[in-house]
Amino acid sequence: MSLDPMRQPLGCLRGITAPFFTPCDATGALDLDGAAALTDWLAGKRCVRSVFVRSGMGKMFTFTVDETRRLARAVHEANRGRMGLLVGAAGEWLDKDTGAYPDPARYTDQAVELTRFAAELGADAAVHVLPSALGPEPPGGAEEAIVAYVQAVHDAADIPIVLYQPAGLPEPYRLTAGLLRRLLSLPRLAGAKVSTTDDAVFGPLADAVRGAPFSLICGHEGYYLKGLRQGSVGVIGQGCMGYPEILDGVQRGYFSGNLELAERAEAAVWRALDATKGLDSTVAFKQLFAKKGVRVQPFDRSGAAPYDSDTIDRLERELDALIAPYAPVSD
């Protein structure tokens, strides 16, 4: 494995990255004022390292190229450099839920276009979901399709590339240790978000990049402490939006050697996940954010209806109690 000796791990991937819950109105149209307000809210938390626009929880496959540009610009302008910015740069797959696939060449061309846009915007990285959009049986097989796609977006612009393996990705498009070692030859491949709580999935990938200037990111916050122990440097999950203070407790405890704190905080993460069980968490959290003064509407592109006030009051009580031991001390 040949690596550039000057290549360094990407700082914006360390710690907590919030998968931006796309602000929208009741029709699903982007609410850019809401995006600015939510960006300010996250920056005020002081423990969120970066924001991931057009994330999985932000309903990334509902986005057109134009919407990606508009939302990324709005967050970039509101952010003013306070947090890192990651932009989801995959092509359009608007009919994914129907089982249809986009034209592979058009999908890749759009991904190249958005990667260049992210670089021009000044984003810290372009994020690419592993390209199952290329179809169940791409010519040459899925691994060769992944390599060709990643090579294309990598060569498109001078910007770090982060791969994203969501839960439920078709097996042929999942990372393996051998594929990851192969991709590490690309100097701007900076990291990968892997959404799993399975040691058998995460462990071999962690072994494959150990010692390399590559940031392996936990895509499930309930796995963060286990991931840190295997060499992960960051986390992206719903808790990074809704209760980043608790995840900050996990990493503070781990890196300070206070494993009692880290384990207690990770247990609190699982209780916070339980608090949203059965809810569309993106809708419920937007309602909770609004209750706390964020100018964001209680809608999501999932189409889920807002919850009654008793449900949101209950969620607020439970999460506030879990967050309180880890909230930063006011200046």
The CATH number assigned to the domain holding 212 equals 3.20.20.70
Asked if residue 293 is part of any domain, the answer here is yes
Alpha helical stretches, state H, 161-308: 177-183, 199-209, 224-229, 238-242, 244-256, 259-275, 281-291
Asked if residue 3 is part of any domain, the answer here is no
Asked if residue 148 is part of any domain, the answer here is yes
The residue-averaged pLDDT of 279-295 equals 98
Asked if residue 6 is part of any domain, the answer here is no
Asked if residue 81 is part of any domain, the answer here is yes
Q: What percentage of the chain has pLDDT greater than the value 90?
A: 95
DSSP, res 236 = E
Asked if residue 244 is part of any domain, the answer here is yes
The residue-averaged pLDDT of 92-111 equals 97
Tens of pLDDT along 224-257? 999 999 999 999 999 999 999 999 999 999 999 9
Alpha helical stretches, state H, the chain: 32-45, 65-79, 104-121, 142-154, 177-183, 199-209, 224-229, 238-242, 244-256, 259-275, 281-291, 309-323
Instruction: Compute how many other C-beta atoms are within 10 angstroms of the C-beta atom of residue 331.
Output: 4
Asked if residue 5 is part of any domain, the answer here is no
pLDDT band for position 329 (50/70/90)?
low
pTM for this entry: 0.96
pLDDT of residue 331 exceeding 50: no
pLDDT band for position 8 (50/70/90)?
low
Q: What is the rounded CA–CA span in Å between residue 125 and residue 15? A: 15
Asked if residue 196 is part of any domain, the answer here is yes
Task: Give the pLDDT of residue 87.
Answer: 98
Count of structural domains, the chain: 1
> Closest Cα to residue 296, out of 23, 21, 44?
23
Task: Give the pLDDT of residue 189.
Answer: 97
Contacts of 158 (CB under 8 A, 6+ apart): 119, 188
Helix (H, G, I), strand (E, B) or coil at 53: strand
- What is the distance in angstroms between the CA of the first residue and the CA of the last residue of the chain? 47
Task: Give the pLDDT of residue 3.
Answer: 36
Task: Give the pLDDT of residue 328.
Answer: 77
Tens of pLDDT along 40-75? 999 999 999 999 999 999 999 999 999 999 999 999
The residue-averaged pLDDT of 6-26 equals 88
Task: Give the domain extent around 241.
Answer: 11-326
Q: What is the rounded CA–CA span in Å between residue 228 and residue 120? A: 33
> Closest Cα to residue 1, out of 189, 164, 127?
189
Tens of pLDDT along 200-219? 999 999 999 999 999 999 99
